[in-house]
């Protein structure tokens, strides 16, 4: 019998995402000036206030107020009527030095500076399990409902920043997409779309609701559809149920309407409820924290496995003990979609022949000691397009730093497909490169 599956996304102006972006901006600045920084920082945002807290071991000194205000202004909180303004909000810092009890299990002195020595000595920054997931139902190997929910908000943000068509938009927004699937787990149609967007005040609520609903359906949704391949465009139809600003007025939003905290949108950040999640947030953590780095590594494995033709859908779990380099275990679930005459356990053992999941090895292979994290902190850490770009820190000041050719979203690269094919003896026509 057909079934429904739903995923949601939130915009860059959502309070929790503001907090994530500030935390990751701090991570980037620490890594830019000291690549060996160890950082775990949390952000709280509320009416007119930002509170920063966390633990740091670094030689870098940051002006956290300037960084925080730049992030808030870039998102679009630049007007007094928002009751949260990058130029006028208070910024309180309670960031302090990292506990040496925690650090000793991660940073151990080694006489041999070779890769193998470092990889064997650097332990995991915490215990826990991390998951990666991939499916071939979209071109970027992401679950369709989440991919569409992200796209809706990215297009809405682009319209807001263009300032030409829907001029009353404010930064805070949420979306939700429900897909109907067949018994064999193939998407049949889009059942419903929910969108709540913050907006300027209108003369009347009735006029407001009519205008917003018409603009979303006639301006935003056509842009979303145009961004999809033909197979996904076919899922849009006249029977979709739209719930646009279903509570009515949404003038008060952002941190004035709801307090935001780092790490409260971990399902939005990953797979929208598909697969699994180990529970650890990403933003505000340097790559020695396996909550972040191992989640990226398992996504990298899962995506390359699906692209190589191992299965239509793959879940990868890895687990660690704090201070220990070797993972406690690797689990793989192909959901019965494997193309191989091997059990999932046998597949997992062969995957360990290809991928080194020790924390230092993950950092090195995915280039995670680079300041690339603020870009991950809205619209999902997974399913993004890898790219190379320069990045400027403290522009126009005496401490200006330009880092060239940084690689972003390295865990999304399909660079291990051929290695997997060879390990499993697959022919080239048994895979989809995407």
Which residue positions form the known binding site for ATP? 14, 172-174, 249-250, 258, 264-265, 281, 285
Rounded distance between C-alpha atoms, residue 314 and residue 305, angstroms? 7
Chain-centroid distance, C-alpha 31: 19
Whole-angstrom distance, CA of residue 294 vs CA of residue 392: 27
Angle between helix 290-308 and 417-424 (nearest 10): 60
Binding-site residues for Mg(2+) sit at: 16
Pair of tokens at residue 391: 């990045």
* 395 exposure class (CB count in 10 Å sphere: 0-12, 13-18, 19+): exposed
Residues in the chain: 434
Binding site feature residues? 14, 16, 42, 55, 98, 172-174, 249-250, 258, 264-265, 281, 285, 289
Q: CA separation (Å) from 217 to 177, 222, 287, 310, 408?
A: 15, 7, 41, 39, 33
- On whether the CB atoms of residues 397 and 70 are closer than 8 A, the answer is no
Q: Which residues are annotated as a binding site for L-methionine?
A: 55, 98, 258, 289
Contacts for 236 with CB less than 8 Å, ≥ 6 apart: 190, 221, 225
Which residue, chain included where needed, has tokens 């915490």?
126
Known binding residues for K(+)? 42
Question: What is Dmax (Cα atoms) for the chain?
Answer: 72
**Given the structure tokens 């180990």, which residue do they identify?**
278
Tokens of 423: 């390990």
- Spatial neighbors of 321 by CB under 8 A, at least 6 apart, are 124, 127, 328
Rounded CA separation 23/292 (Å): 13
Q: Residues of 245-268 as b/e, b for ≥16 C-beta within 10 angstroms?
A: beeeebbbbbbbbeebbbbbbbeb
């Amino acid at each position: 019998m057909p079934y429904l599956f739903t995923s949601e996304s939130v915009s860059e102006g959502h309070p929790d995402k503001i907090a994530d972006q500030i935390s990751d901006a701090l991570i980037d600045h620490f890594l830019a000036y000291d690549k060996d920084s160890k950082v775990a920082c949390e952000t709280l945002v509320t009416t007119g206030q930002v509170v920063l807290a966390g633990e740091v071991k670094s030689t870098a000194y940051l002006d956290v107020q300037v960084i925080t205000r730049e992030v808030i202004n870039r998102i679009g909180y630049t007007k007094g009527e928002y009751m949260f303004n990058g130029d006028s909000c208070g910024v309180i810092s309670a960031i302090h030095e990292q506990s040496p009890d925690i650090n000793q299990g991660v940073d151990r002195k080694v006489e041999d500076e070779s890769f193998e020595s470092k990889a064997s000595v650097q332990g995991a920054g915490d215990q826990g399990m991390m998951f990666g997931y991939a499916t071939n139902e979209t071109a970027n190997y992401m679950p369709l409902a989440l991919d569409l929910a992200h796209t809706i908000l990215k297009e809405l943000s682009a319209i807001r920043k263009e300032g030409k068509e829907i001029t009353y938009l404010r930064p805070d927004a949420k979306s939700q997409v429900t897909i109907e699937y067949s018994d064999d787990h193939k998407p049949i149609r889009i059942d419903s779309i929910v969108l709540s967007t913050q907006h300027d005040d209108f003369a009347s609520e009735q006029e407001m609701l009519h205008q917003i609903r018409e603009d979303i359906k006639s301006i935003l949704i056509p842009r979303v559809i145009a961004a999809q391949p033909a197979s996904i465009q076919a899922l849009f139809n006249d029977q979709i149920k739209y719930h646009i600003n279903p509570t009515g007025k949404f003038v008060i939003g952002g941190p004035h309407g709801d307090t935001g905290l780092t790490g409260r949108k971990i399902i939005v950040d990953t797979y929208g409820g598909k697969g699994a999640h180990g529970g650890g947030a990403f933003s505000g953590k340097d790559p020695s924290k396996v909550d972040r780095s191992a989640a990226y590594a398992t996504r990298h494995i899962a995506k390359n496995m699906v692209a190589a033709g191992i299965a239509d859908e793959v879940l990868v779990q890895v687990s660690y003990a704090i201070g220990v380099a070797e993972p406690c275990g690797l689990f793989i679930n192909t959901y019965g979609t494997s193309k191989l005459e091997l059990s999932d356990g046998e597949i997992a053992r062969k995957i360990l022949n290809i991928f080194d999941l020790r924390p230092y090895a993950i950092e090195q292979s995915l280039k995670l000691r680079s300041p690339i994290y603020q870009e991950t902190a809205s619209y999902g850490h997974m399913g993004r397009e890898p790219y190379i770009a320069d990045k400027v820190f403290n522009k126009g000041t005496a401490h200006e730093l330009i880092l060239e050719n940084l690689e972003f979203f390295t865990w999304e690269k399909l660079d291990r497909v051929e290695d997997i094919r060879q390990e499993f003896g697959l022919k080239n026509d048994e895979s989809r490169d995407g």
